[in-house]
Amino acid sequence: MIKVIIAEDDEKQLQSFSNYITNETNFEIVATATTGQETIDNYLDKKPDVLFLDLDMPKINGLGVLKNLKNKDDRKNIIVTSCSKELVSNLYDFSNIYRLLPKPFKYEQAIFSAQEIFENNILVSSKETIRNILSQLGFNLSSSGTSNFIELIYSKYQRKNFKLSLKQLYNIVALELGGFYTPMQIKWSIDNSLSSAKRFMDKELLYSIFDNYNSAYEITISYLADLIVNYLYKANRG
């Protein structure tokens, strides 16, 4: 579910856009705001996936909202809407802006942009989750083998609708790393990292992380990657 806040001081536009989003699958409006301060308060309280921000609002305008939120959230998750050329001309050095939609904008375009933000943030957070899981399992996060394994699992998750062999994944990782390593070197490095980490793994630890762990299976690169991809899939569907 993509959680959004709509900040718009024009009541008719706010109602019209809200009605459109309400009818969209996988979207939830967690708050609406008609002033800058209300927008800031709702954003910090609700922590939305996406903020639709009108620049021309009373008292604290959209520029003030952007400045206030800039150092409080490092996500690039704000879609700016405006018909004011003067305010738009002052949009610079705001790392939290994902896209500018000049008014009047098509609601379909707004929805597509929000979906892009959500999917991009899921992938970024998923990579951090992979890193945290491997750390819990005893992997040395400073080793190249662990870094390569993170990239392999991440690549597998990105392409979860395709049945890729380990050989194909080694090739993908090698290409994404600019060809600095060969696919065989990727394999060896991950093998070594897994071999070292296995000394710290036990069944209780694996059961505590993965609800579908089966002790009958040996912990291999393929099986552990499958466990983590399945973990991410369940977490992000929720």
**For the ranges 81-90, 94-103, 160-169, 176-185, which has the lowest average pLDDT?**
81-90
* Residue 62 predicted with pLDDT over 90: no
Co-location of 9 and 102 in the same domain:
yes
Q: Among 119, 151, 178, which residue terminates a domain?
A: 119
One-character DSSP codes across 151-181:
HHHHHHHHTTTS---HHHHHHHHHHHTTTSS
> Residue 51 is inside which H or E element, if any?
strand 50-54
Report the chain's terminal Cα–Cα distance, integer Å. 8
Contact 25, 2 (CB under 8 A): no
Average pLDDT, the chain: 88
Q: Is this prediction's pTM over 0.75?
A: no
* Residue 111 predicted with pLDDT over 90: yes
Co-location of 83 and 165 in the same domain:
no
Backbone phi, psi, residue 214, to 5°: -120, 115
Co-location of 32 and 88 in the same domain:
yes
**For the ranges 23-37, 67-81, 218-232, which has the lowest average pLDDT?**
67-81
* Residue 35 predicted with pLDDT over 90: yes
One-character DSSP codes across 117-134:
HHHHHHHHHHHHHHHHHH
Written as six digits, the tokens of 165 are: 């062999």
Distance, CA of 134 to CA of 228 (rounded, Å): 9
Co-location of 100 and 203 in the same domain:
no
| Best CA proximity match to 65, nearest among 49, 84, 79 | 79
Please report how the helices 166-176 and 183-197 are oriented relative to each other, as an axis angle in degrees rounded to 10: 110
Co-location of 145 and 222 in the same domain:
yes
Co-location of 58 and 151 in the same domain:
no
Residue 56 included in any domain: yes
Q: Among 86, 119, 152, which residue terminates a domain?
A: 119
* Residue 238 predicted with pLDDT over 60: no
Domain that holds residue 15: 2-119
Residue 190 included in any domain: yes
Q: Give the Å distances, CA to CA, from 80 to 16, 107, 132, 195.
A: 17, 13, 33, 49
Amino acid, single-letter form, for residue 153: I
Co-location of 69 and 176 in the same domain:
no
For residue 201, give the CATH number of its domain. Answer: 1.10.10
Co-location of 57 and 18 in the same domain:
yes
| Best CA proximity match to 144, nearest among 168, 115, 180 | 180
Residue 128 included in any domain: no
Written as six digits, the tokens of 98 are: 């994902």
Co-location of 21 and 82 in the same domain:
yes
Distance, CA of 7 to CA of 34 (rounded, Å): 6
pLDDT digits (tens, 9 = 90+) for 130-152: 999 999 999 999 999 999 999 99
pLDDT at 237: 64
Q: Among 119, 151, 167, which residue terminates a domain?
A: 119
Written as six digits, the tokens of 168 are: 């194909």
pLDDT at 73: 79
Residue 204 included in any domain: yes
| Best CA proximity match to 18, nearest among 63, 54, 44 | 54
pLDDT at 160: 78
Written as six digits, the tokens of 128 are: 């951090």
* Residue 122 predicted with pLDDT over 80: no
Co-location of 145 and 114 in the same domain:
no
Distance, CA of 39 to CA of 22 (rounded, Å): 19
Burial category of 134 from C-beta neighbours within 10 Å (exposed 0-12, middle 13-18, buried 19 and up):
buried
Residue 233 included in any domain: yes
Question: Quick one: pLDDT band at residue 192, thresholds 50, 70, 90?
Answer: very high
pLDDT at 92: 64
Q: How many domains does the chain have?
A: 2
Residue 130 included in any domain: no
Strands 27-33 and 78-82: unpaired
